[in-house]
Amino acid sequence: MGILRLLLAASVVAFHSGPIFGFRGMGADAVQAFFILSGLYMALIVSVNYANATDFYLSRALRLFPVYWVFLLMVVAIAALPNLGGGDFLQGVVDAARGRLKAATDGSAAAWLTAIPNLLMIGSDWARQFFSDDAGALHVWRPEFREGPGVNAVERHLIAPQIWSLGVELAFYAVAPFLMRLSTRLLIAIGVVAYIAGNVAQGVGETYTGPFAWRHMLPMQNAWLFVLGVLCFRALPAVQRLPTPVNAALAAVPFVLVFVWAPTNWQQLNGLLLVFALGLPPLFTLTKDWRADRWVGELAYPIYLVHLLFAYPALVFGAMHGPVCFLVSVIVSIGLAVAVQAPVDRYRHSLINRARPRFAG
């Protein structure tokens, strides 16, 4: 599923910068698709690789934090560069890094609120529930709030505002070892309840589709997607018995959706996410042994982390700003994958080997 993960990451890049040679993908909705993928992968690794929850938590921390912390150091290093002059792309990257650091360390209440999220990603999703006024006072989000004169989103004090989704992921990781103990029937019931509760919490109509709907994506609003991914894992034994042509046809569904994605309301969005999930077990079955595909998928996380640093500076390239942002993000991500992620993963895999046998609660 590595190519699919890369396409989802490219969708987010396209949303924040511009079309990548015409490709827009799933836009911001790709993040919700990632939650489904995460549920499948977490169910897989908990059920197969870990003897206890502690080993799982350590492995997940090693998967997320080293690359993120190196990214933060990279932002600091870029911000420390001298002015390069002119209004070109490189100067824009330097200015973007300086702006991120300045907002994160300006001593305001918003900066203090985002201090732990900036270091550990924990709580980054909840930080998005607040706004600050020109006097620096914090306010809890209300439907009538709109960012503009006198109202500023606290997320602007996050060095990487997109880490809100990683805050959500960390909440899912916390409960993943315990979800795996539950029966499939109970998981289905939890998924249905989570869907209903999440959509009530998110609201419908204007309160969902308005300018700030995307600002309050919290674990309870996305839990049904993670549970759906776990159910995709539970479906693997049945899917593996299907004829290869059937699996191939089903595996094509997520790719088709990525290229034609265009929901117009929340009902369509959630329905399409369900259809997207149908193709994941067959896709995993067909590609699980493809090393090249797996390596491509490993780039999705660092691309997601770094791309906003280049999104706005790339505007100097006009219609090519999307492709340039994506290309630079891929190059930087390959460096992070080779220099940071690969050696850490070797250590993680040694933990997995020590952690076996099968997770038993």
DSSP per position, 279-345: THHHHHHHHTT-HHHHHHHHTHHHHHHHHHHHHTGGGGGGGGHHHHHHHHHHHHHHHHIIIIIHHHH
What CA–CA distances, in Å, run from 152 to 111, 118, 137?
12, 18, 10
pLDDT of amino acid 360: 38
What is d(CA 263, CA 274) in angstroms, rounded to the nearest whole number?
13
Does any domain span residue 274?
Answer: yes
What is d(CA 333, CA 68) in angstroms, rounded to the nearest whole number?
11
pLDDT of amino acid 212: 41
What is d(CA 39, CA 46) in angstroms, rounded to the nearest whole number?
11
pLDDT of amino acid 355: 58
Does any domain span residue 134?
Answer: no
pTM score, whole prediction: 0.92
- For the chain, the domain total comes to 1
pLDDT of amino acid 206: 44
Q: How far apart are the first and last CA of the chain?
A: 28
What is d(CA 171, CA 38) in angstroms, rounded to the nearest whole number?
12
Give the CA count within 13 Å in the CB-facing half-sphere of 195. 16
Residue 167 is inside which H or E element, if any? helix 164-179
Does any domain span residue 152?
Answer: no
Nearest 5 degrees, angle CA 56-CA 58-CA 64?
Answer: 100
Does any domain span residue 336?
Answer: yes
pLDDT of amino acid 152: 84
pLDDT of amino acid 48: 79
Does any domain span residue 138?
Answer: no
Does any domain span residue 128?
Answer: no
Helix-then-strand count for the chain, H and E: 19, 3
Does any domain span residue 146?
Answer: no
pLDDT of amino acid 359: 42
Q: Which domain holds residue 44?
A: 2-106+159-355
Does any domain span residue 144?
Answer: no
pLDDT of amino acid 66: 97
Per-residue confidence of the chain (361 residues) as pLDDT tens digits? 999 999 999 999 999 999 999 999 999 999 999 999 999 999 998 887 776 888 889 999 999 999 999 999 999 999 999 988 766 999 999 999 999 999 999 999 999 999 999 999 999 999 888 888 888 899 887 666 667 788 888 988 999 999 999 999 999 999 999 998 999 999 999 999 998 877 765 554 444 444 445 455 788 889 999 999 999 999 999 999 999 999 999 999 999 999 999 998 778 888 999 999 999 999 999 999 999 999 999 999 999 999 999 999 999 999 999 999 999 999 999 999 999 999 999 888 777 776 554 443 3
